[in-house]
A and B are shown apart, each in its own frame.
Chain A
Amino acid sequence: MSWDLSTQNPEDHALRLANALLRANGGTTALLQMPPATGDTTDAGQLGLNAPSFQSLPLSPVVFRRMRATMKEGQPAKYELLVAAVAVQAAVSELQLSSADTLFSMAASVVVGGKLFLIESIAVSESMGAVYMYRFLLRESASEWQMKQASQ
């Protein structure tokens, strides 16, 4: 058995291409709902008594689309959110996190167009080992979400 040990020079062309394509094809902004930097350590905060005070972390460009779904009765619709890795990298660096996984594990939900969605799963698209795009599978949330237009 032999291994491929040839050198592969990572380039960011896929990263830039994904960024440009997502921006050109209806690119919009999604808001990750992140916990505040200093969390609520009180008992009330763990019992659902205190408002969680989530902070919105913008990700842009993203493309939001409804999945070509097999419709099931009583099941909320599913959506797909394509996020440029550039946006995720910026968010990771802004919050000084170790990785994108940490960022996603902290996110409670995501808001797109003033509507709240739950994150079902996250997949990545790579080129030569470098992530250029994240794909979020979203499910519509039952709870209503009041968003101020100014904050979008």
Chain B
Amino acid sequence: MENAKDTFYITLRNRLATLNPNRTMILRAVTRPGILVEEGEAPVAELPLDVFVLRWTKLDADTQLPSILAQMTCEIHYATAGTQNNAGLDRGRALEAMDDELLQLLCPSSAQKMNYVQTQAAQMGTLIFWSQALFAPATTVRERMGSLATVDVFAFQEQGEQ
């Protein structure tokens, strides 16, 4: 399952770097595309703005198939307070831009599964694939507008894979 989660994140990250090279963040002294896996970073009191945050929640497994099919639910959280130049009055537009970016990041909805535990990432035998994003109603806390999209990611368990 971990390989599928890693592959999903790296796929979205690489797509974001191509789609919107300006959406970057500085995290642990590294400038990188504005997307992160929550469980792979230091805990924070409040999620960062203008960044996509992946949170893995639910796990299901279909054991009736020749290979176990794992279904993992990924919540993608993002929020914005607009830009300083517009005094935050463009926060609705900024959130809309992130909605649009996310939809584009998720297409096409499959990727070759990779193993990133090795020093040189190794291609695995199957694909991971995911459902369409389900968007929850946007939330507003003072000037902070947030959104949440939920995606189900599917992956077959390969031989020897944990």
Query: A interface vs B, CB < 8 Å?
Result: 35-41, 43-49, 52, 106, 108-109, 118-121, 141
Contacts and interface: CB of A to CB of B under 8 A. Distances in A.
A38 to B, nearest CB: 7
B49 to A, nearest CB: 12
Nearest to B32: A46
Most chain B CB inside 10 Å of its own CB: which residue of A35, A46, A121: A46
Contacts, number: 53
Interface of chain A: mostly helix, strand, loop or mixed:
loop
> Which size bracket describes the interface of B in this complex?
20 to 34
Interface of chain B: mostly helix, strand, loop or mixed:
mixed
A47 B28 contact: no
Interface of B: 6, 9-10, 13, 27-30, 32, 36-37, 39-43, 45, 116-117, 121
Nearest to A143: B43
A110 B121 CA distance: 34
25 contacts: A35-B29, A36-B29, A38-B29, A39-B27, A39-B30, A43-B116, A43-B121, A44-B116, A44-B117, A46-B9, A46-B13, A46-B32, A46-B40, A47-B6, A47-B9, A47-B10, A47-B37, A47-B116, A48-B39, A48-B41, A52-B28, A106-B29, A108-B42, A118-B43, A141-B43
